[in-house]
Every structure is written in C-alpha cells, then in structure tokens.
Amino acid sequence: MVRTRFAPSPTGSLHLGNVRTGLFAWAYARRHGGKFILRIEDTDLERSTEEAKLGILRDMAWLGLDYDEGPFYQMQRMARYKEVIRQWLAEGKAYHCYMSPDELDALRAGQMARGEKPRYDARWRPENIHKNGLIPPVDVKPVVRFKNPLDGSVGWDDAVKGRIEISNHELDDLIIARPDGTPTYNFCVVIDDFDMQITHVIRGDDHVNNTPRQINMFHALGAPLPVFAHTPTVLGQDGEKLSKRHGATSLEEYAEEGYLPGAMLNFLARLGWSHGDTEVFTKQELAQWFTLEGISPSPGRFNPDKLAWLNQEHIKRAEKNVLGEMLKPFVVTLGCDVSRGAPLADVADLYRERAVTLREMAESVLYFYRNIAPPAELLAQHITDANRPALQVLAQRLASVEWNKDGIHAAIKPLVAEFGLKMPQIMMPLRVALTGLTQTPAIDAVMTVLGREVSLRRLAHACAQR
C-alpha cells in the first residue's frame, strides 16, 4: 500500500512551499488508495511552539487535507530513537565522539584555509582512537555519530530529478544524538519513515543533500528504501526564493482575506505540476489526476495575480449554498445580522461574478443587511423633478407585480416611453435609492433578492427627499 507523509516543523506558520509538498503527498496517497500520515517534527525545542502546532492542524483542516494517521509528534517518540541509538552503538554502527565545538570549528577553519571541503575527520571512530592517541575526557559529554560507509557511493532514482549518486567519501559521520542525548533531525526522520512504513517520501529539494546520509541509515536498519521525490523550490516572480516580500503570507492570512481553500489548493498544485493544459480544477480532480511524473523539475513561480484569478474562478463555480455559507463569517465580522435580511446564498449568487475574494464580496453586500441612508448629494444628483414622477408610479406598480427579475423589469420598461426618459434616468436613481451605491449587479436582480418590502420602503424614502 502507498503510504506518504507530511512532516512540518512547528517553528512558525506553514509556508506555501511546505504546504505544496504536503498537498502532493496527500494527492499521491489519494490517487493510489493509500494512507496519508501527518507527523509533526517538534525536536527543535527552542523554536517549536504550541501555537505553531495548533496552526498546522488549523491550516490542514482549512485546506481539507485529511490525514489517515496522526498527528504523530517526534518528542513523544524519544524512547524509540534512544533504543535504536543504543542498538547501533552496540552493533558498531555508531560511536561516541568527544570532539568539542571549538575543536570542530578549528578543524573546519583549517580545511577551508587549505581549500578543502569542511568535514569532520572521523578522529573518534573506534578504529582511529588508538592511532590518534585519544583518551575519552571525563568532563565532556559526547555526541553520537553514525558510521557512514567509507567506500563506494550512495544513489537513488529520484521520481522528480532522476538518477542522483554521491560518493561516500563526500559524506562525513553525521551526529545523530547531541550531548544531552536528544536525537537529531536526519536520524529521527529515518526511524519515523521506517516505523511508519512510508513508501514515498515527497518533500522539497532542499532535502536532497540529506538524502544520501538518510539512505545509508536505512541500510543500517536493514530497511527497504522509500521512493524519494524532491519537488523544486517555489520562487518569487523575480527568481529569488519565495518570501513575504513577494506577497506570500501565511495560510491563515489568506483565509482571513477570503481566499477559498479549493482555490489555494488549485494554485499550489499548479506551482510545478500540471495535468495537460487544465488550469482550474477541484481537490477531487487533483486526487484523481495526480502523478509524480507530472511534477516539473523546474522551480515554480509564485504569481499573486494568478492566485486572485483562480480564486475568482472558484467563486464563480462554487455551489450556491456552499458559497453562501463561506460568505457568512465575513459578513458577520462586519457587524451584520445575517438572520435578518436576504438569504446569503442568493446574495452570494448575485455577486459571484463580481468579487475576487469573499472579504471583497462581503464589503459589497452590506446594504442587504443594514438600513442605508444614501448620501444627500447622490440623491440630489440622480432623483430630480424630471424622473421623480416616474419613480413614484414605478413604486405603485411594483406593489402588485410578481416579485422576480422578469416581473420587476416588465414594470420598469414602459416608464421610458411614458415619461419620455432614457433607461439610465430610471435605473441609476433606482440603484442609488435602494443601495446607496452607483455600481451594483443589475438592479432588477438586486431588487429580487432585496425583497419587495425593503425595496418599496427605500424607494419611497428616497423619493420623499428634496
């Protein structure tokens, strides 16, 4: 069975590149009827926070990335990590190293001065201790290092980048436990992926350099290798690594701005993955179509205009009642009682073609839920002695027409000829009187949703102003 995982660190808000790899892992598992696991890598005690952990769960729920197992927390697995470290020490696959940080810094400085690659020199390997004349100091707590193979090479067929092979000579002996016994990231990841039977490791290409050491640790476990798929970096439009200055904010901020989770998933998936030329698709379609072969090896570029366009497309395509429910908290936040007024689903349906975000939509529809008082200067400009009689007659006729768009339009249209007016001389003052605005959807459609009682009351009030 295919088993994938998303393993964020709770050291801050989820960034878009990280979420994208999680999305790819989710989609691959769903495509193959497998399992998707959430694992929170919280061993960085200084930077990890409970707030960030809760934020990960909140963002996953908002996106609709459901996981089958987890969340697992690495700090709750310490006993397992220490068990393997003890086993490897006993089997000679790891050893204690007493080199101090100052000694290591001096070693690296000398190597760089000679133009060499800075690397640990394996002086505390058991086979080197006697040769180097070393005696373990009693006042130093050692780290534990993994005995990386000295000969040969380590390689893998990356599902995105193709064949990658690195000489073991390029790899030094990695620290797998700190002086206080806390295991390190690269070691924990291997144990977790082995224990959780992960078959496909889908992650960002900033982890490519970690992979050779992790593969050697898989071999030390006697474990089969997962398939590795390293996704390309997400860049800003200027070609630099994506950051807030490119307009990329946290998922929570996008949610608060009124971006739809489906649009965000669509946008992230298209940052480096494609299904032919299809630009707009649902989460369900992504799960049906996703393949690792569809991931481009080239970096994706964050384009806020593309995100805005996709969000508008998803608003346009959303089911009416669902869109109304998504709009509700944005209208309520602006101080409106949505239980009194036009049905939100009808209001959202009316504005779906005109709004880029739900926040923008909410700000445009307040007149459905508030008593309005059109500015006096706007009323004076649009309701005059020339058209006031026509508006008063219209009010009388609207009292008895069938209240739908066709019925309302049929009442408005004859007034043009009857009073020698042009259509804008009726439509614009009607719009101002009912909404207090000069730009809205078609006013007969607005009136249908606003309702007869509210429409007639606002029109009568506006016509009475002098």
Listed in order, strand segments (DSSP E) in 299-404 are 300-301
Please state, in angstroms and rounded to a whole number, the distance separating the CA atoms of residues 254 and 259: 6
CA distances for 446 relative to 224, 251, 416, angstroms = 63, 33, 20
Q: Per this entry, what is the length of the chain?
A: 466
Residue 158: strand pairing partners: 162
Assess whether 306 carries a catalytic annotation.
no
Annotate 186-200 with b (16+ C-beta within 10 A) or e (fewer). Answer: bbbbbbbbbebebbb
CA angle 25, 26, 29 (to 5 degrees): 85
**C-alpha distance from residue 198 to each of 5, 72, 228, 250, 314 (Å):** 7, 14, 10, 28, 33
Side chain identity, residue 447: M
Cα Rg of the chain, angstroms: 32
Strands (E) located in 159-289: 162-167, 175-177, 200-204, 227-231, 234-235
Q: Decide if 388 contacts 382 (C-beta within 8 A).
A: no
Of 350, 424, 331, 425, nearest to 387 by C-alpha is: 425
Catalytic residue (one of 244, 306, 320, 405): 244
Q: Write out the catalytic residue numbers.
A: 244
